Amino acid sequence: MSGTTVWVNGSLVDEDERSLSALDHGLTVGDGAFETCKVIDGEIFGRTRHLRRLERTLAGLGLTGFDADRLDEGIDAALAAAGPMPLGRIRWTVTGGVGPLGSDRTSGELTYVIGLVPAKPLPSHARVATVPWTRNEQAATAGLKTTSYADNVIALARAREHGADEAVLRNTRGELCEGTGSNVFVVQDGVILTPPLESGCLAGITRAVTIEWCREAGLEVREQTLPGEALVTSDEAFLTNTMRDVQPIATVDGDSLAEEMPVTAQAAAIFAERVAERMDP
C-alpha cells in the first residue's frame, strides 16, 4: 500500500482490493455521509464533534441503524495499522449500503469505510477563486456533509484552472457562503465576521472552535450575513477547515489582499495554542 490505510465493514483491506458492492448506494446515488479529520501524532482532532456531525448528517438524510461502536472500531484499527504518524488525514464514510439502481432505498445494513493517509502541512496562505455557481441554502441537503460532492469537485477544478487552491461560493441570494471544503471569515474594523449557518454553509468543526476560542480570548466574532464581495472589501480574510486550521487568504481571483493581517494572525495563534491543549474540544 502507498501509505494509505483502509478499513471496510470490519476488516483492513488493501487500497486496491475490491471491497464494496457495485450497488452500494454511496456509489450509485451519493447516499451517504462522511467526515474528514486531522491526525496529529496518532490522535484525531475534534473526534467527538466530528462524530456528532456525522450523526446529524445521517439523521438529515434519513439513514437509520448507525452503529457508532462499529465506526470507532474501524477508526482505531486504521490508526493502529498505520503506526506512528506525525500528521495525517483520516476520513470516515457511512453510506446507505446496497440499494436499487435509483433513489429508492432498501432497509439493508449501512456501509462503513475508513481511509487514513499521511499528510503534509499546507501553505501558510490560501489562494481562492470565486465561481459562478451557487450554494442552495434551501436544498434538502443544505448544511449536511454528504457524499454528493460533485458541485464541489467542479468548483474546485475551476479554481485550480485559475491558479487557486480553493473556490468560494455565494448562495442563491448572492451572499457570501463558503468554500468547497472550508468556511470563510473576514475582518472588518477589528471584528471577525463569518456567514451564519442560515446562509447554507456547513457547520464546520474548525469554524465552531475558532469562534469559541477567539471569543474566549477576547476577540469579537459575529455570525452575520455578508455580501458576496465581502472577501475583497474587508480588511482581512481567512479560511478554516480541519487541515487548514486558520489560514489567511492571500489572493482572491488573482488579486492580492492586505499583506498585514493582525487579527487573522491573532486568531491563528489562539487556535494553535488551544489545539496543543485540547485535541478533543
What mean pLDDT is reported for the chain?
Answer: 96
Domain range summary for the chain, segments of one domain joined by +: 5-118, 126-277
Q: What is the residue type of 10?
A: G
Q: 223, 142, 126: which is closest to 182 by C-alpha? A: 126
Question: Mind listing the pLDDT tens digit for each residue in 163-213?
Answer: 999 999 999 999 999 999 999 999 999 999 999 999 999 999 999 999 999
- Specify the residue for cell string 468556511: 183
Residues 6 or more apart from 263 whose CB is under 8 A from it?
187, 190, 192, 219, 235, 236
How high is the pLDDT of residue 2?
64
Is 5-118 a CATH 3.90.950.20 domain?
A: no
How high is the pLDDT of residue 15?
87
For residue 277, give the C-alpha cell: 491543549
DSSP structural state of residue 109: P
Question: Mind listing the pLDDT tens digit for each residue in 92-122?
Answer: 999 999 999 999 998 789 999 999 999 999 9
Question: Mind listing the pLDDT tens digit for each residue in 46-89?
Answer: 999 999 999 999 999 999 999 999 999 999 999 999 999 999 99
Largest CA distance in the chain: 55
- Helices marked H in the chain — which ranges? 25-28, 47-61, 68-82, 150-161, 205-216, 230-233, 262-277
Name the E strands within the chain.
5-8, 11-13, 32-40, 43-44, 87-95, 111-118, 126-135, 166-171, 176-179, 183-188, 191-194, 221-223, 236-241, 245-252, 255-256
The C-alpha R_g of the chain, in whole angstroms, comes to 19
**Of the options 3.20.10.10, 3.40.50.920, 3.30.530.20, 3.40.50.300, the CATH number for the domain spanning 126-277:** 3.20.10.10
Is the pLDDT confidence value at 1 over 70?
no
